[in-house]
């Protein structure tokens, strides 16, 4: 009887979520676009930088050595006549441009795009040294070998592999703060809860089904991200799927409680949005969704680790990228579970149907 009520209610809540365009966009389209977009921009590994070479077509041994050395370093060289090259430069899209020939070169760097220009410069300088050595008949000098490895050491994933667990965590945060809280406030404000309170439907079943419905969508969204990440960037979950599921559910419960708790402080959706954003932006920025916080001051990092999102992201990354077990994530789990107990308790205490 109660199980059927629960399943009916769960099915209805999933149907409603699937009919809210913004929910579908935020849960599926937004994380997929972020993963594809940021993943591609910061990957850097797939294709080397482009370099336009303004060159008059004379035959020169020195030019050949330089071109070969650049190619070896992954630089994609495009040779243009000085007039054409100048025209391209004027468009402003080139980070740097190589000019001159037969051993006399100048690298023009775009002052607006210095980060990219410096990266190219390093490659050009190395290539030039190699080319000079080869022109004099010397053998190549030894280089420092480079191995790629993630901080956990088990997987040499691209930036997308760092980003993916971050996006899963971001989804958990947004689900709790926005989907849960806004629905809670709307239901109370518009009398939806009051109407339900006049029926024999047990309250726990209703709220339980609502939370379960959102957890289902979180899991579906995470599965979609992993699928896209696997297909596009070739990144795979290095840990167990059970551990990922457990982390998503634990985080989901924690942030659902936060949504309900916060909802109890607002009368209308408008006032709620202000409250939610007040928490959302700092949580997102301090917890390292997109970038590692290594560069931040230590007190800020330590502070962020006490909030619930940073430990969740840390644990998700440890499992997904380094194949860590749940047991090894004890400190992180303890912080999240502690928040869950506090937030859940307060949310239950403050919850009102009318």
Longest dimension (CA), the chain: 92
What is the closest distance, in whole angstroms, from the C-beta atom of residue 208 to another protein in the complex? 14
What is the closest distance, in whole angstroms, from the C-beta atom of residue 197 to another protein in the complex? 6
**Can you list the positions of beta strands (E) in 213-352?**
none
Assess 12 for contact with another protein (CB under 8 A). Answer: yes
Kindly indicate which of the ranges 9-17, 148-156, 299-307, 333-341 contains the residues binding another protein, using the contact rule CB under 8 A.
Answer: 9-17
Identify the sign of the CA torsion 39, 42, 48, 51: positive
With respect to another protein, which residue has the nearer C-beta, 16 or 122?
16
With respect to another protein, which residue has the nearer C-beta, 39 or 181?
181
With respect to another protein, which residue has the nearer C-beta, 150 or 186?
186
Identify the sign of the CA torsion 212, 215, 219, 220: positive
Assess 208 for contact with another protein (CB under 8 A). Answer: no
With respect to another protein, which residue has the nearer C-beta, 233 or 260?
260
Assess 152 for contact with another protein (CB under 8 A). Answer: no
Q: Which residues of 260-272 are buried (b: 16+ CB within 10 A; e: fewer)?
A: bbbbbebeebeeb
| Window 132-151: contact mask with another protein (x via CB under 8 A) | --------------------
Chosen residue from 92, 137, 145, 200 binding another protein by CB under 8 A: 200
| Window 160-199: contact mask with another protein (x via CB under 8 A) | --------------------------x---xxx-xx-xxx
Of 272-311, which residues contact another protein (CB under 8 A)? none
With respect to another protein, which residue has the nearer C-beta, 126 or 186?
186
Joined tokens for residue 238: 């290095």
Kindly indicate which of the ranges 12-20, 32-40, 225-233, 272-280 contains the residues binding another protein, using the contact rule CB under 8 A.
Answer: 12-20
With respect to another protein, which residue has the nearer C-beta, 27 or 51?
27
Q: Which residues of 181-193 are buried (b: 16+ CB within 10 A; e: fewer)?
A: bbbbbebbeeeeb
What's the first-to-final CA gap in the chain, in angstroms?
A: 26
DSSP annotation string for 183-247: HHHHHHHTTHHHHHHTSS--HHHHHHHHHHHHHHHHHHHHHHHHHHIIIII-----S-HHHHHHH
Assess 220 for contact with another protein (CB under 8 A). Answer: no
Distance of CA 215 to the CA centre of its chain: 20
Give the residue carrying structure tokens 């409680």.
257
Packed helices 269-286 and 241-263: angle between N→C axes, nearest 10 degrees: 140
Assess 15 for contact with another protein (CB under 8 A). Answer: yes
Joined tokens for residue 15: 């149907």
- Give the number of other CB atoms < 10 A from CB of residue 74: 12
Assess 24 for contact with another protein (CB under 8 A). Answer: no
Assess 270 for contact with another protein (CB under 8 A). Answer: no
Chosen residue from 3, 4, 147, 299 binding another protein by CB under 8 A: 4
Residues that bind another protein (CB under 8 A): 4-5, 8-9, 12, 15-16, 19-20, 186, 190-192, 194-195, 197-201, 353-354
């Amino acid at each position: 009887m109660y199980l059927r009520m629960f399943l009916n209610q769960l099915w209805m809540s999933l149907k409603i979520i699937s009919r809210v365009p913004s929910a579908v966009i935020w849960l599926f389209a937004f994380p997929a676009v972020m993963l594809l977009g940021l993943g591609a921009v910061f990957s850097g590994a797939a294709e080397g930088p482009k370099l336009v070479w303004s060159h008059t077509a004379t035959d020169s041994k020195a030019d050949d050595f330089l071109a070969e050395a650049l190619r070896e370093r992954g630089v994609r060289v495009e040779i243009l006549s000085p007039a054409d090259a100048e025209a391209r430069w004027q468009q402003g899209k080139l980070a740097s441009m190589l000019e001159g020939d037969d051993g006399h070169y100048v690298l023009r760097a775009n002052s607006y795009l210095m980060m990219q220009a410096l990266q190219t410069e390093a490659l050009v300088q190395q290539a030039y040294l190699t080319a000079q050595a080869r022109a004099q008949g010397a053998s190549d000098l030894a280089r420092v070998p480079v191995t790629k490895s993630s901080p956990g050491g088990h997987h040499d994933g691209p930036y997308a592999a760092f980003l993916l667990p971050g996006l899963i965590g971001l989804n958990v945060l947004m689900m709790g703060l926005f989907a849960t809280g806004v629905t809670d406030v709307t239901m109370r404000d518009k009398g939806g809860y009051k109407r339900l309170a006049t029926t024999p439907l047990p309250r726990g079943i209703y709220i339980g089904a609502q939370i379960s419905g959102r957890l289902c969508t979180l899991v579906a969204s995470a599965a979609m991200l992993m699928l896209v990440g696997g297909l596009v960037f070739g990144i795979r979950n290095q840990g167990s799927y059970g551990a990922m599921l457990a982390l998503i559910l634990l985080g989901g419960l924690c942030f659902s409680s936060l949504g309900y708790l916060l909802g109890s402080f607002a009368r209308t959706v408008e006032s709620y949005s202000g409250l939610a954003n007040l928490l959302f932006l700092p949580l997102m920025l301090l917890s390292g969704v997109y970038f590692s916080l290594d560069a931040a001051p230590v007190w800020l990092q330590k502070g962020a680790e006490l909030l619930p999102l940073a430990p969740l992201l840390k644990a998700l990354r440890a499992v997904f990228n380094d194949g860590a077990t749940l047991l090894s994530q004890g400190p992180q789990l303890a912080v999240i579970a502690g928040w869950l107990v506090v937030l859940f308790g307060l949310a239950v205490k403050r919850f009102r149907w009318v």
